[in-house]
Structure 1
Amino acid sequence: MAGLLTNSDKAEKRAKVVALNEKAMARFTALFEQRLGANSQHAKIHWDIAQKIGLPVFRHEDWHYTPLDKLLKTEYCFSETSLIEQECEALALQIDAYRIVLIDGRYSSALSSIDVGPFQVALLDNQDLLPDAINSEIFLHLTESLAIQPLVIHLAANEIAEKPLYLLNISSGNSDEQAVNTSQYRYHITVGANSKAQVIEHFVSLNENTHMTGGRLTVEVGDNAQFDHYKLNIENGQSQHFAHNDIIVGRDCQVKSTSFLLGSLLSRSHTSARLDGENSELELNSLLLPKGNEIADTRTYLEHNKDHCNSRQSHKVIAMDSSKAVFNGMIKVAPAALKTDGQMSNNTLLLGEKAEIDTKPQLEIYADDVKCGHGATVGRIDDEQLFYLRSRGIDGKSAKHMIIIAFAAELTESIASEELKQAVMKNIRQRLAEV
């Protein structure tokens, strides 16, 4: 049958992928040595794991829809860009927050807040023990081993942070055709028992040149704590973005994590979570808005390990032009997690004739007496809705925008900070300008 690969074709392609992976790992090895990773026990441990896992093999199921050929053929280098305060302010969200700035993966004390309120901030050292990955994958370990200045952030027990902690990550591209800048960002946050904190992750590009970003945030939430996390990625249309966040949740907690992925030519964002205490509530949400030929891949992995916990997930995609989106979500319910209530949905709005979504929500349940469900919908703008709005004197473009923004409103309206909400809406409208 036409189109099917013969065994010899498969063997040839498999060999090509192996050779490509070997060359790419050799380049990452040079970066690891340049980073002086061997001097960091933490980096060395993760580099050993990265070498053991290796880059995705031919027809690896988890990477089937995420093309890596261009990335694997690229030579990467570290950069040491410096910014003045005015340049930083032009890129930063105008919000009242404790600000921490990293430029190309390096902490900038000059551009960060002197006063970080109740938060304690320090560089990672060899005495710090960070949690193991909840759901291991290759780019997670590459970021762990290549991040130049990982930060450890602590909020003590019984503390309420009156302002958000704002993590501003600024990556620069270069015009050098020989090597592309790569920036790796690593944060570990502990939130003590009975405390309350809000964290905003913000990824931006300094210029329009190509660059590759790696992001890794791990959070340990103590008993009876409240934690809100927002991620906003608006990097340029030439960038590649790979991120993996982990959240470990204790007893009687309220935790929410929402990602707005509104940039990058190729992005793959994981959020993994583990409910390790009873009576906790968790929300995991995301909004993807790819355009042009962009590919946006988002994945969640959630373990319910204790009883009487609730989780809610809402993942929305607005795919324009010839863009492609991927969603893969997994909920695992352990035998001891009785009275679990876990729900996950993925809703997609296709705006382009060639736009595509590949979605795979999954459940693995090993306990009785639980309530879990998942669902996915894919559709285009409803002609009847459009006709109704136009019959009320609204022009076609404005009517489309109203429907699209209403589709995203479930997530945008839930943003606690008005300044952050306005920043997200501004970027959404900018991306919709051509629709």
Structure 2
Amino acid sequence: MGTMDGLMENNIYNQLKNIYKNHTKHHFSNVSEKNWLKLKFLLKQKKYDDFQKKFFKNINNKFIKNSQKFFLNKNILKNFMFKVDAILLCFINGRLDKNISDIKNPYYKITIDKYNNIFYINNFVKNNIYTYLSESLTKEIIHININNNIKNIKPLYIIYFNCGNKNNNQIFMSNYRNYIYINSNIHNIIILEHHINNDILCFNNIYNTILLNNNSTLEYYQFITNENNNKNYNFINNEYYLYNNVFFKKYDLFMSNKFMNQNNNFQCIGNKSKFIYESILFAKNNNLMNINNYLEHKGHNCYSNQIHKAITLNKAIINLIGLIKINKSAIKTDGQVNYSSLLLSDLSKINIQPGLDILNNNVKCKHGVFTGKIDSKQIFFLRTRGINFKKSYNILVTAFILDSLKNICNIDLIRNKIFNYISCYFSIENFFNEF
């Protein structure tokens, strides 16, 4: 490795070391220390993948700072929020804002720990630089428990909002560690996770653990809506544990940041569970998005279906890596995954790596991949029907994502706002409602 690479790594390591040293003055714990030592080991080993190398190179000349407290008026936040009747948890620059958030409510028990003291034994998830950062530098550990005694539970609306200084020589880092417990026999839980970034340079790093106990039902939506922002670095690590007879739907709609990385680890531990996952990914300019999905079936008679769609333009790159593993014990598993991608520019790229690891013959499992461009013959066909070129182009882009979009935006109060975001992002005409 060259001298410049060594200087780059030392600069980033030394900055993180100083941040951790200050962090321990108020938030020291044995768990944080263990994770810091593991992070330190990884940084010293210099075993980075291509994505990490590009990320470190990109932030090398920046001064990394822990995000500072920022008091936000709720009326300002309303301009960015979805208008839904829900319990609000708003994180601003790495902390849960207690003035804006509905911490005291009858539906969800919210617990905030100042110190990371959870010895959570996790043999399923392979930790990485970003999970260790969250575990060692998070200022608040959040636990969310659903109340068993209430039938009609309001949705939980989680917002991550970054705002503050616009100094391009500084990058503000926010780390989060959250645990969500869906208790047994609780049905129809809806969680909305919405990432809103103001026009500042920030590094958002989130680590979520979601446990779905027996007979529970969850719909989990993740939205990143940065239609006018090309500066942020967004890293999300999610781990989901599905026990017996769980019904879990996950929906993602991501508009790319400068760098975007999400690792999902799904563990179907129990029997007779059903898992549905749909995502739509957009990237433009010279942004880079990396999505890694790992699904492991351990229980029997489980079903999973994944549908992922991606669109790139300009010089953007999206990397999609997915693996379904079916263990020997997972008899009568039905697992499917499908990737579809649309390239709107000659210089944009979408790399797809699906994988199946099947250790049991008594299963149904398949995957499919499609990559293409806007078909000129279809454009010609629409134009012969009196539709101009621009509208023909818009119709074909819309048709590509429409089925998934209807599922991801099946909440009426957020549908129009999402449609407007997408229209602005691609600078196309908003006529989604015509379909």
Secondary structure in structure 1 of the residue aligned to 2:314: coil
Q: Could you tell me which amino acid in structure 2 is paired with residue 389 of structure 1?
A: L
Partner of residue 328, structure 2: 335
**1-side partners of 2:150 and 2:211: how far apart?**
15
Percent identity among equivalent residues? 22
Indicate which of 367, 374, 383 corresponds to 1:374: 367
User: For residues 259-408 of structure 1, what are the structure 2 equivalents within 5 Å?
Assistant: 259-408=252-401
Matched-pair contact (CA < 8 Å) for 2:170–2:201:
no
Partner of residue 234, structure 1: 225
**1-side partners of 2:44 and 2:85: how far apart?**
41
Distance 1:317 1:97, change over 3 A: same
Deviation at 1:249, TM superposition (A): 0.6
TM-score (norm. length: structure 2):
0.90
Deviation at 1:198, TM superposition (A): 1.0
Deviations 1:257-297 (A, max 9, x none): 12111131111111111000001011223211111111111
Partner of residue 47, structure 1: 36
Q: Could you tell me which amino acid in structure 2 is paired with residue 294 of structure 1?
A: N
Indicate which of 404, 408, 427 corresponds to 2:421: 427
Indicate which of 89, 97, 100 corresponds to 2:89: 100
Q: Number of paired residues?
A: 421
Q: Could you tell me which amino acid in structure 1 is paired with residue 327 of structure 2?
A: A
Partner of residue 418, structure 1: 412
**2-side partners of 1:229 and 1:246: how far apart?**
13
Distance 1:66 1:222, change over 3 A: farther
Matched-pair contact (CA < 8 Å) for 2:116–2:141:
no
Deviation at 1:229, TM superposition (A): 0.6
Matched-pair contact (CA < 8 Å) for 1:174–1:180:
no
Indicate which of 69, 74, 88 corresponds to 2:57: 69
**1-side partners of 2:302 and 2:323: how far apart?**
16
Partner of residue 433, structure 2: none
Partner of residue 3, structure 1: none
**2-side partners of 1:17 and 1:159: how far apart?**
56
Q: Any unmatched runs of 5+ in structure 2?
A: 430-435
Indicate which of 34, 44, 47 corresponds to 2:22: 34
Partner of residue 432, structure 2: none
TM-score (norm. length: structure 1):
0.90
Deviations 1:100-130 (A, max 9, x none): 0110011111111255331110103555554
Deviations 1:375-396 (A, max 9, x none): 2211001223222322333222
Deviation at 1:178, TM superposition (A): 4.4
Partner of residue 6, structure 1: none
Partner of residue 216, structure 1: 207
Partner of residue 86, structure 1: 75
Whether 1:198 and 2:190 are equivalent positions in the alignment is yes
Matched-pair contact (CA < 8 Å) for 1:296–1:326:
yes
Secondary structure in structure 1 of the residue aligned to 2:416: helix
Distance 1:318 1:252, change over 3 A: same
Deviations 1:166-207 (A, max 9, x none): 00110125233543211223321000001121111111113x
Partner of residue 25, structure 1: 13
Matched-pair contact (CA < 8 Å) for 2:30–2:117:
no
Secondary structure in structure 1 of the residue aligned to 2:180: strand
Whether 1:175 and 2:166 are equivalent positions in the alignment is yes
Matched-pair contact (CA < 8 Å) for 1:265–1:294:
yes
Distance 1:396 1:422, change over 3 A: same
Indicate which of 143, 153, 156 corresponds to 2:144: 153
Deviation at 1:250, TM superposition (A): 0.6
Matched-pair contact (CA < 8 Å) for 1:158–1:195:
no
Secondary structure in structure 1 of the residue aligned to 2:85: coil
**2-side partners of 1:350 and 1:19: how far apart?**
37
Q: Could you tell me which amino acid in structure 2 is paired with residue 113 of structure 1?
A: D
Matched-pair contact (CA < 8 Å) for 2:9–2:56:
no
Secondary structure in structure 1 of the residue aligned to 2:283: coil
**2-side partners of 1:279 and 1:52: how far apart?**
40
Partner of residue 243, structure 1: 236
**2-side partners of 1:332 and 1:321: how far apart?**
35
Secondary structure in structure 2 of the residue aligned to 1:404: helix
**2-side partners of 1:62 and 1:368: how far apart?**
36
Indicate which of 111, 116, 121 corresponds to 2:105: 116
Secondary structure in structure 2 of the residue aligned to 1:414: helix
Deviation at 1:358, TM superposition (A): 1.3
Q: Could you tell me which amino acid in structure 1 is paired with residue 422 of structure 2?
A: I
Q: Could you tell me which amino acid in structure 1 is paired with residue 141 of structure 2?
A: P
Indicate which of 184, 193, 202 corresponds to 2:175: 184
Q: Any unmatched runs of 5+ in structure 1?
A: 1-11
Distance 1:16 1:158, change over 3 A: farther
**2-side partners of 1:163 and 1:402: how far apart?**
36
Q: Could you tell me which amino acid in structure 2 is paired with residue 420 of structure 1?
A: I
**2-side partners of 1:173 and 1:328: how far apart?**
34
Q: Could you tell me which amino acid in structure 2 is paired with residue 274 of structure 1?
A: Q
Distance 1:182 1:372, change over 3 A: same
